[in-house]
Structure 1
């Protein structure tokens, strides 16, 4: 598929609503966007290609205006803006949005950046499509928040608009003692990241993750960051029940996994773990 050309450059718009800045004592790895971004940037090209494949297959109108709730460092926002889309990006972390604002400015790109809560924010005017991948959705740690978010996204979408929603589902025989490691390098800085599950409560449907970062800068200076945060647990059956609770506004148009292969559609069964749901607004 041919790449779209960048749209005409417009001033980047930033608004603030219902959010407060964090104190230094509360800082987490999300307050260090440069490291957060390095870990995930290798996934960007595949995701962007998948998004455009999804638009072509599932959207009934030309997709122009996009929304990313929980945009983080904005790697997907910048990549889609570079392809000519108009972007609305929402996050509750001011450091992430400041990093994204600079990123867009350096590349001569534009976007509407909003400091707000992804559970309640509604885009105006409405958008053609929205995307939220790699478990951002699981930061909503109770069912009411998850449903509010889905309904807010539905309200943000035009009729027949789609929401690309990706998150891990947990099989019933999942091993709660999980640890993953990544390494990344950029501009002379080397980053090592260790993610470990330190608490797993299936009945409460919450796991707590600890992320430890070691960043070695070109000067040799080492920065270490460690933070902990909860994520909501979903079995495939629980994910099905959640999506059924919003069936008045969304239908499941397709299901894929984190391989981002438009030719490999998945079944909604108990083997579904890395789930990417294509939800269409009714």
Structure 2
């Protein structure tokens, strides 16, 4: 069994699928709220740079960090290949620090849920406030556990890049609401020309109901929620969350 984060080429192709709305949303939010021609932005757990690289091309001054050295090596190669520059560091989401202050930070599609304890989640958010400028924006996106709505147990998608095709099958194999753990199994089915391969990976995420998420955020006095959106990333249509909401993108502003 391989950790799919150690397979950066396949991971990058897989998660570059259907990201246009997410990318446009991040760009539009920062352009709306940040009064700078070249905003300084940070991506914790930046991985292979699927969002970081297109944001650099859109004129942002980008910094990213990650704990996976394979992903960082892949990202640095992509930057060099495209003659782009970013500040790339080896660091983790809980203990990171920076002398540099940022106009905006983003952490979408459940990356925050890799932090598995309340203490560590609080530390992450407190560190966000330390490196975020006054009135800076933190975009936080994650799935929620709805009270009554059925949760999808299997999600499938297929991505292509050149001669490479990656089919991703993500299955929830265990959900423990008491311990707040969701265990996922990911299968990558690879096809390049006539050759095929497959890899399986398992990992755990922390679960959040709406009430649990708001309780965590309430402990961070320097962050305020200014808007909330759903998985459609339409900046013109903020939403109101309820107990059956299953995805939230929060705009948090440093006071």
TM-score where L is the length of structure 1? 0.86
Query: Residue 224 of structure 2 corresponds to which residue in structure 1?
Result: 251
Quote how far apart the aligned CAs of 1:89 are. 0.3
Unaligned runs of 5+ in 2: none
After TM superposition, give the deviation of residue 173 of structure 1 in Å: 2.5
Deviations 1:164-200 (A, max 9, x none): 0100011123546701111111111111111111111
Task: Give 1:233's match in structure 2, choosing from 199, 207, 221.
Answer: 207
Tell me, in whole angstroms, the C-alpha distance in 2 between the residues paired with 1:244 and 1:269.
17
Select the residue among 199, 207, 210 that pairs with 2:174.
Answer: 199
- Aligned-residue RMSD, C-alpha: 1.6
> Are the aligned partners of 1:30 and 1:93 in contact in 2 as well (CA < 8 Å)?
yes
Note the alpha carbon deviations across 1:117-167, whole angstroms, 9 max, x for none: 111212321111000111111111111111111111111111111100100
Indicate whether 1:83 and 2:58 are aligned.
yes
Q: 1:113 to 1:133 in 2, by over 3 A?
A: same
Match of 2:243 among 270, 273, 282: 270
**Equivalent residues in 2 for 1:18-37, closer than 5 Å:** 27-37=2-12
- Residues of 2 paired with 1:265 and 1:131: CA distance? 17
Q: Do the aligned partners of 1:266 and 1:272 also contact (CA within 8 Å) in 2? A: no
- Contact in 1 for aligned 2:42/2:102 (Cα 8 Å): yes
Matches within 5 A, 1:91-240: 91-175=66-150, 178-218=153-193, 220-240=194-214
Structure 1 unaligned regions, length at least 5 = 1-24
**What's the TM-score, normalizing by structure 2?**
0.95
Q: CA deviation at 1:62?
A: 5.4
Distance 1:43 1:124, change over 3 A: farther
Q: Matches of 2:51 and 2:232 in 1, distance apart?
A: 16
- Kept in 1, the 8 Å contact 2:52–2:62? The answer is yes
The residue matched to 2:141 in structure 1 has which SS?
strand
Q: 1:186 to 1:60 in 2, by over 3 A?
A: closer
Residue 18 of structure 2: aligned partner: 43
Contact 2:157/2:169 (8 A) holds in 1: yes
Residue pair 1:60, 1:160 contacting (<8 A) in 2 also: no
